[in-house]
Amino acid sequence: MSKVCDLCGKGIITGYSIERRGLAKKKGGAGRKITGRTKRRFLPNLQIVRARLATGAVKRLKVCTRCLKAGKVVKAA
């Protein structure tokens, strides 16, 4: 099952989860140091919606919430 928006193409983005130790400089410490980085994935907030297409047909689409809020989808009754 793909995790990609059918309208805008928003998908999974990879990044890092960063672990730090130490006290911040503004709190009187020597600064925060990075002790580890592990890979992680940022998943899009996809919703499965019954939408009416331009042809008049009704189809289930995976749509991100940004497209839903923007009104790019006409929901089927």
Dump pLDDT digits (tens) for 12-43.
999 999 999 999 999 999 999 999 999 999 99
pTM of the complete model: 0.77
pLDDT given at position 34 = 97
Q: Are 46 and 1 in contact (CB under 8 A)?
A: no
* Percentage with pLDDT > 70 across the chain: 99
Name the percent of the chain in helix, strand, coil, to the closest 5. 10, 45, 45
Query: Would you place residue 77 in the very low, low, confident or very high pLDDT band (cuts 50, 70, 90)?
Result: confident
